[in-house]
Structure 1
Amino acid sequence: MREDRRRRYDDGFRREALELIKSGAGKDTLARRLAIPVYTARNWIGLYRSNGEEAVMGGGGSRRYDWETKVAAARDYVENGLTKTEAMASKEIVAWDVSRSPDLGQQKRLPAMLAERLPAGAEPILHSDMGEWQYQHQWWRKELERLGIRQSMSRKGNCLDNAAAEQVFGHLKDEFYRGRVFDSYEQFKRELDAYIIHWNTRRRQIRLEGRTPEEFRSMSLAV
């Protein structure tokens, strides 16, 4: 059933849906003409209105790529890329933000901090989970484009994209958070900022040949 649905929602099918959407078809008309669920029609119309034709053709902004393409992208990701919080090769946390809620203000502060540290001419790939609401947010997409940052080609269920970030989060929870009680949000934020600086500049790692993330980055750029 799932494989049949994948074949059914191929590029030709999506192109037909796109033409109907561009002609002004609503969700009910689109669902009836294409014999698809109304919620699918509604989602595709929403994608077109917020992100344009590519979002509909890409199945929510994320296409399926062959293995060779993903390996090549992963190599570029390791050598040149930054995640939303860290440089993947060095594990350095290059941008972070703590907020009481994951609002748009936080999402605007994060790329602003990242922009200050981007090397000239860099074209990094930034991975955002498809489950995160900013993944398709119009402001987020335009800001990354303005900064010359490519959005990840990730798809749902691809754990490899998260592996580096989750490893850092795992250390952070064990070394900083687990078993502790903070008196206030302000204390938590202050001490978390201090831990991140410690992680970047003083915490040596075997996988980085005994160097700190900051030292490993400086060595790599000097080569």
Structure 2
Amino acid sequence: MLQMFRKRPVMPSAADALPGRPDPLPTAETHFVNGNPLKGPYPDGSERIVLGLGCFWGTERKFWQLPEGVFVTAVGYAGGHTPNPTYEEVCSGLTGHNEVVLVVFDPGVLPLASVLKTFFENHDPTQGMRQGNDVGTQYRSGIYTLDEAQAATAQAMREAYGEALAVRGFPAISTEIKPLDAFYFAEGYHQQYLAKNPSGYCGVGGTGVTCPIGTGVAA
């Protein structure tokens, strides 16, 4: 995606990051596939989590295609320094942001552990600042949590999946887990991109290793 803007996969400091802007970028109002509001209101009892697992065009589709429990998905930027960045700015490598997916789900129907199982199994979380041919800080593996319970579940599952990957000869997991500071909605044309452009680029691929949901992690 937009390889002309790609820079070295090195995180910038806050002092070196682009300044951004005070106002949010315009985006879509509703989900192109299910018609639900991207920015809410969300149903009572719903839960949110923000996930980075490579190019957000393909990764968003993995979550809206789950058979039940997902209210809405949206793509955006998180994990960096620049407020309200543009796609081009994120691709420059000078914002520190990751390409991410916001998943709003019903935990009574779709437990967080199942959302994270989809996350881990649909990319290679050992590749550092890249996914396949997509290289850059915006393609890193990341889980951005809303509370301590989410962080604990994510940590337990990262450890369990790391053990499963190690048995198959993979290196250590590079997935970062940290509290969500801010989620910035991406521009409207990125939202549900592969539903609007079915033959569009999708660089997402998993390891083929099953993520265990078991000891210490409620399924």
More strand by share: 2
More helix by share: 1
State TM-score, norm by structure 1.
0.31
Which structure has more RCO (C-alpha within 8 Å, separation ≥ 6)?
2
Q: If you compute each CA radius of gyration, which structure gives the higher value, 1 or 2?
A: 1
